[in-house]
Amino acid sequence: MKTVVLMGNPNVGKSGIFSRLTGTRVITSNYPGTTVDVSRGAMRLPDTPAEVIDAPGTYSLTPTNPAEEVAAGILAQADVVINVVDATNLERNLYLTLEILERGIPAAVALNLWDEAGHQGITIDVAGLERLLGVPVVPTVGLAGQGIRELVDRLGEARPSGTIKPMNEEERWAAVGRITGAVQTIAHRHHTLRDRIAEASISR
């Protein structure tokens, strides 16, 4: 059985994607030796069953608090990593993405909050981002389930990045700026009636 680990910054919608992947088959418990809650569930990959672990939100793999220490420890257990990225704040999120890819672990990126990025006038060249990162990138809306089926299907393509090599902090931030500048454009726009109806249809 493979282990799939969800990793991302805090408040990127990881729990929504975790719920979509695992349904009701979830166990939440303290990580051994800590008071940090970790959720585990089960899913079916295209070729095998898998355990899914929702790691605590973290901004970096250099821990500064117990939750981040747990996240870094869980990463070591991963056969595959799903890096959940906030599409509305690509630049901030990509630092962790690069750190994960530098580890050489098979990975895929869920470009989450895709609908909200569109509402904010943010356009991301998904194919271009995939080429630069060297791993599958799938736009998702975890709350509504959008893109989840494609994400599961493409986990079979998850692989170590062939384009991202180990970097120091300064090089990593420079790479974040280059990648963001290459794939993201922002145009000011207001929510349309259609946007507001779409939001209302997926709110709790």
Contacts of 73 (CB under 8 A, 6+ apart): 31
Q: Count of domains in the chain?
A: 1
pTM: 0.89
Of the candidates 127, 137, 8, 15, the one whose C-alpha atom is nearest the C-alpha of residue 75 is 8
Domain enclosing residue 111, as ranges:
2-201
CB atoms within 10 A of CB 148: 19
CB atoms within 10 A of CB 112: 30
Q: Hey, CA dihedral for 72, 76, 78, 81, is it positive or negative?
A: positive
DSSP codes of every residue in 95-122? HHHHHHHHTT--EEEEEE-HHHHHHTTE
Q: Which CATH number covers residue 129? A: 3.40.50.300
Of the candidates 23, 4, 1, the one whose C-alpha atom is nearest the C-alpha of residue 155 is 4
Regions in the chain scoring below 70 on pLDDT: 24, 188-204
